[in-house]
A and B are shown apart, each in its own frame.
Chain A
Amino acid sequence: MGTSRPVIVKRMPDRINLQQSREFLREVQPLLRSDRPQVVFDFSAVHRMDAAGVDMLLECMSDVMKHDGDLKLAALSPQAGVVLELTRADRLFEVYDTVSDAVRSFSGFLPNAMRHYAEWGVPAAASAGDSSSKLAA
């Protein structure tokens, strides 16, 4: 099942502190407040991030949810990954290794879940078949 709505990829600045967060939020808020926005934040260039950056991400998430959209994170740099994990914010977002994975995920059905199946060594097709057969039963 696909989607025809555009996916917006936004590259994050290399430093996400209070000032940068405000500027960035001002920049992206019109996008986040469009109808059912599909947004990917590219974190590959982020070298420094603090708590204000995490606040800003939560605010973006809040905005996107209010408009029935989705916000995903991609290509987390080690710095951003550590800060997000430290602040437990990583659990609130879908995180992808690459931007293209994140973009593709908008047009697929539960792509992360399927990826986890693959990581656990369960063939994705088999597991999908099982669930469909259970549903049919």
Chain B
Amino acid sequence: MGAMELAAIIVVGARQEEPEAAAKHHPGSAGFETFAGIPLPLLDVVGKSVAHHVADRLRRVGVEAVTALTDDALYQDTALRDGDGQAACRRTADVWRAAEDAFSSYADEGVEQVLLLRLGPYAEFELEDFLRFHQEHRQTATLLCDERGPLDAAVVQAARRNDAAFLLRNGLRATRLPSEPYLTRAYVNPLENAHDLRRLAQDALLMRCEIRPQGRELKPGVWVGERARIHRSARVLAPAFVGAHAKLRAASVVTRCSVVEHHAEVDCGTVLEDTTILPYTYVGTGLDAAHAVAGFGKICHLRRRAEVEIADPRLLGTVAVSATWRMMKNAASLAAYLPVQAVRGLASAGRRTQPAPPPPQGDVLGSSRQHPAELEPSPEPLSASNEAAQFAGDFAVVRRYGNE
């Protein structure tokens, strides 16, 4: 087996810049480059984490070995596993130190050049062109930039360990020796906040970037992952994505570039519009989520620029990661549901068997007069109970405006 020419090291998260300065530029976003404490590149976009998409893309364009590293503190199982159960990254206590070690290993193996990336920003640069530029300029290290600045990526000669160490210690934003950066005009998403994550999903669905939805295109613009369950009365309007093992229950609607990631559940009657539902997220009954990213007990409203924790599992919950546990929970809920339905069925059957008093012949007006009495408000006040049954589907509100 011959020596490798090109390898890549991907560092996820671990931005070295001051977060306060970043937060100043993004008011309202609770975490810079994170959502619910998880780095955005580890969150799924149309079926796979961004880190996975990047690694796959690098492999496609000829990078022979890819190492992805993330911080121990940032590692979360649910975030890192893709629909097929693969882990996206190797966790480590000191990610930059681990990157230096990985670089040394590649150098020892005889790799000629190493591509260093921090995610962070997602860039679809032309790798061949980048390498050609690096070679033509005879530089030991070349930074990747776009018109807004550095994209936290560089290519380094594997023999130049000091240059690599300097780059890694400066967050891939400065080279040890002066060098001309490579300017890309390709698709770039800064992935700084949930808004950018949402935009990446939209761009993937609208084919504006190279990321492709991981599933079968059932009809133009609608991708569905393996073993996704969509109720026959649910509506999925293109462009949209429903991930593997996801569930859309009766009368739910997924529209306007909405994405339901793998193992997520959307309950009856809920409408998703321009929304991303992250993996293993349960969205409650009859809700209306628009312009949002939801998951891990949090919802980020993109228009209000607010990240809100939702503690009520009836609104936003978490689906168990373990399949066995999920099955047990489903069995338990079914066991609790069936007796209630049986009692209801018996009660309604009892009501049906009672003979209804026949309306007096010819007194149509009289019988219709009785109906408004049923609509009269009950004399007893409603108690502030938690039961949604009090405000069932037949609850109606009539408003009077101003002095009208």
Residues of A within 8 A of B (CB): 1, 3, 17-18, 21-22, 25, 29, 48, 50-52, 55-56, 58-59, 61-63, 65-66, 68, 70, 78-79, 81-83, 85-88, 92, 94, 105, 108-113
Contacts and interface: CB of A to CB of B under 8 A. Distances in A.
Contact of B315 (A25, A29, A50, A63): A50
Contacts of A87: 286-288, 315
Nearest to B390: A55
B372 interface: no
A22 B404 contact: no
A51 B287 CA distance: 11
Contacts of A59: 382, 384, 390
Contacts of B398: 65
Given A55-B391, A88-B287, 6 more contacts: A48-B309, A51-B312, A66-B377, A82-B306, A87-B286, A88-B286
A48 B308 CA distance: 8
Nearest to A52: B386
Contacts of B292: 82
Given A66-B377, A87-B287, A109 B403 contact: yes
A111 B402 contact: yes
A86 B290 CA distance: 8
A18 B28 CA distance: 28
A55 B388 contact: yes
Contact of B397 (A51, A92, A105): A92
Contacts of B301: 78, 81-82, 85
A58 B385 CA distance: 12
Interface of B: 28, 284, 286-290, 292, 299, 301, 304-306, 308-312, 314-315, 377, 381-386, 388, 390-391, 395, 397-404
A48 B311 contact: yes
Nearest to B391: A58
Contacts of A63: 381
15 contacts: A22-B383, A25-B384, A50-B310, A51-B388, A56-B384, A70-B400, A81-B301, A81-B306, A82-B304, A83-B308, A83-B310, A86-B299, A87-B315, A92-B397, A112-B401
Contacts of A25: 384
Contacts of A110: 401-402, 404
Nearest to A87: B287
A113 B391 CA distance: 28
A81 B287 contact: no
Interface SS, A side: helix
B299 to A, nearest CB: 6
Contacts of B286: 87-88
A83 B315 contact: yes
A78 B404 contact: no
Of B310, B312, B314, most buried by chain A (CB within 10 Å of CB) is: B312
Contacts of B400: 65, 68, 70
A103 to B, nearest CB: 14
A18 B386 contact: yes
B403 A86 contact: no
Nearest to B28: A78
Contacts of B395: 58
B295 to A, nearest CB: 14
B27 to A, nearest CB: 12
Contacts of A86: 287-289, 299, 310, 315
Nearest to A60: B384
Contacts of B310: 50, 83, 86
Of A1, A62, A63, most buried by chain B (CB within 10 Å of CB) is: A62
B384 A3 contact: no
A19 to B, nearest CB: 10
A62 B305 CA distance: 31
A51 to B, nearest CB: 5
Contacts of B384: 18, 21-22, 25, 52, 55-56, 59
A73 B304 CA distance: 17
Given A63-B381, A78-B301, A82-B306, A88 B288 contact: yes
Given A81-B304, A85-B301, A51 B403 contact: no
B381 A29 contact: yes
Contacts of A85: 288, 290, 301
Q: Which 7 A-B pairs have the closest CB atoms?
A: A78-B306, A50-B312, A25-B384, A22-B384, A82-B308, A88-B288, A79-B308
Nearest to A112: B401
Contacts of A92: 397, 399
Contacts of B399: 92
B315 A108 contact: no
A55 B286 CA distance: 14
Given A58-B391, A65-B397, A86-B315, A78 B308 contact: yes
A77 to B, nearest CB: 9
Contacts of A82: 292, 299, 301, 304, 306, 308
A109 B384 CA distance: 33
